[in-house]
Chain A
Amino acid sequence: MNVAMQQLADPMDIRPFRIEKIRKELADTFTMELVPEGGGSFAFKPGQFNMLYTFGAGEVPISISGDPADPSKLVHTIRRVGAITQAIGNLSEGMAVGVRGPFGTPWPVEEAFGSDLVILAGGLGLAPLRPAIYMALANRHRFGKVVLLYGSRSPAEILFPKELEKWRGRFDTKVRVTVDRAEPGWGGHVGVVTKLVTGAGFDPMHTVAFVCGPEIMMRYGIQALEQAGIDSSSIYVSMERNMKCGIGLCGHCQWGAPFVCKDGPVFRFDEVADAFKVREL
Chain B
Amino acid sequence: MPDRQAVIDRKDLGALFTLLADEGYQTIGPKPYDGAIVYAPISSPEELPKGIGDEEEGGHYRLTQRGDAKLFGHTKPVQGLKAHLYPARQKLWSAEKAGHGFRVVKDAAPQPRYAFIGVRACELSAMLVQDRVFEGGPYVDKGYAERRKNCLIVLVTCDHAGNACFCASQGTGPDASEGYDLKLAEVVDGSRHVFVTEAGSDKGRAILSKLSKQDAADGDVKAAAANLEAAAKGQKRAMIAGVAELLAAKLESPHWEDVAKRCMSCGNCTMVCPTCFCSTMEDATDLSGLKAERTRKWDSCFSIDYSYIHGGPVRNTAGARYRQWMTHKLSHWVEQFGVSGCVGCGRCIIWCPVGIDITAEAKAILKGA
A residues whose Cβ falls under 8 Å from a Cβ of B: 10-14, 16, 18, 37, 53, 55-59, 79, 81-82, 94-96, 98, 240-242, 244-245, 247-252, 254, 256-257, 259, 262, 278-281
23 CB < 8 A contacts A-B: A13-B104, A14-B93, A16-B104, A37-B101, A55-B102, A56-B283, A56-B284, A82-B310, A94-B100, A96-B100, A242-B309, A244-B281, A247-B137, A248-B139, A249-B277, A251-B277, A251-B299, A254-B332, A256-B327, A257-B332, A257-B336, A280-B316, A281-B314
Known A-B contacts A13-B93, A251-B278; the reply to A262 vs B104 at CB < 8 A is no
Q: Chain A contacts of B142 at CB under 8 A?
A: 10
Q: Is the CB of A81 within 8 A of B310?
A: yes
Closest approach, in angstroms, between the C-beta of B96 and any C-beta of chain A? 9
CB of A6 to closest CB in B, whole Å = 12
Decide: A278 and B251 in contact? CB cutoff 8 A: yes
* Bound-complex Cα distance A10 to B102 (A): 19
Residue contact B101 to A249, C-beta cutoff 8 Å: no
Q: Pick the most buried of A16, A95, A249: most chain B CB atoms within 10 A of its CB.
A: A249
Q: A58-B283, A279-B320 are in contact. Are A241 and B309 (CB under 8 A)?
A: yes
Could you mark each residue 265-293 of chain B with 1 if its beta carbon is under 8 Å from any beta carbon of chain A, else 0?
00000000000011111011100010010
Residues B309 and A245 in contact, CB atoms below 8 Å apart: no
How many residues of chain B get a CB closer than 8 Å to chain A's CBs?
A: 48
User: In the bound complex, do residue A242 and residue B306 qualify as a contact, i.e. CB atoms below 8 Å apart?
Assistant: yes
B368 within 8 A of partner (CB)? no
Most buried by B among A240, A251, A257: A251
In the complex, which residues 317-346 of chain B have their Cβ closer than 8 Å to any Cβ of chain A? Answer: 317, 320, 324, 327-328, 331-332, 335-336
Neighbouring A residues of B314 by C-beta, 8 Å: 241-242, 280-281
B134 beta carbon closer than 8 Å to chain A: yes
Do A281 and B133 touch (CB < 8 A)?
Answer: no
Interface check B356, CB cutoff 8 A: no
Query: How far, in angstroms, from A97 to B93 measured CA to CA in the complex?
Result: 15
- B101 and A96 contacting across the interface, CB-CB below 8 Å: yes
Contacting pair B97 A55 (CB below 8 A): yes
Select A57's contact among B138, B252, B283, B317, beta carbons within 8 Å: B283
Identify 15 new A-B residue pairs, CB closer than 8 A, beyond the known A98-B95, A251-B301, A280-B314.
A10-B142, A12-B92, A16-B104, A55-B102, A56-B292, A96-B100, A242-B314, A244-B299, A249-B133, A249-B279, A250-B299, A254-B328, A254-B332, A256-B327, A280-B317
* Chain A nearest CB, measured from B352 CB (Å): 20
What separation, in Å, do the CA atoms of A92 and B210 have in the docked complex? 65
> If the complex has contacts A81-B310, A244-B280, A252-B280, are A56 and B285 also in contact, measured as CB distance less than 8 A?
yes
User: Across the interface, do B283 and A252 meet the contact criterion of CB distance under 8 Å?
Assistant: no
Given contacts A13-B106, A242-B314, contact A252 B335 (CB under 8 A): no
Q: Are A59 and B283 in contact (CB under 8 A)?
A: yes
Instruction: Say whether B283 contacts A53, CB under 8 Å.
Output: yes
Q: Which residues of B contact A245 (CB under 8 A)?
A: 279, 281
- Closest-CB distance, A17 to chain B (whole angstroms): 9
A249 touches B100 (CB 8 A): no
Q: Which residue of B lies closest to A84 (CB)?
A: B283
Contact (Cβ within 8 A) B315 A96: no
List the A side residues contacting B285 at CB < 8 Å: 55-56
In whole Å, how far is B152's beta carbon from the nearest beta carbon of chain A? 25
Q: Which residues of A contact B289 (CB under 8 A)?
A: 56
Contact check, A18 vs B307: say whether CB atoms are below 8 A apart.
no
Identify which of residues 106-134 in chain B touch chain A, using a CB-to-CB cut-off of 8 Å: 106, 133-134
A94 partner residues in chain B, CB cutoff 8 A: 100
Contacts of B336 in A (CB 8 A): 257, 259
- Assuming the contacts A242-B314, A254-B328, A256-B332, asked whether A59 and B100 have C-beta atoms less than 8 A apart, the reply is no
**How far apart sit A221 and B327, CA to CA, in the bound complex (Å)?**
29
**B335 and A257 contacting across the interface, CB-CB below 8 Å:** yes
CB distance from A72 to the nearest CB of B (A): 19
The complex places the Cα of A16 from the Cα of B134 at a distance, in Å, of 26
Top 9 A-B pairs, shortest CB-CB distance = A96-B101, A251-B278, A56-B285, A280-B320, A257-B335, A247-B139, A56-B292, A81-B310, A257-B332
A55 contact set on B, CB distance < 8 A: 95, 97, 102, 285, 292
Query: Which residue of A12, A56, A240 has the most chain B CB atoms within 10 A of its CB atom?
Result: A56
Within 8 A of A (CB), among B172-199: none
> Chain A residues near B317 (CB, 8 Å)?
280
Chain A residue numbers with a CB within 8 Å of B97 are 55
A252, B278: Cβ atoms closer than 8 Å:
yes
Smallest beta-carbon distance B139→chain A, Å:
4
- Complex alpha-carbon distance, A244 and B277, angstroms: 13
Q: Is the CB of A254 within 8 A of B139?
A: no
- Say how far B52's CB is from chain A's closest CB, in angstroms: 35
Instruction: List A contacts of B103 (CB < 8 A).
Output: 16
Complex CA–CA separation, A79 to B101 (angstroms): 22
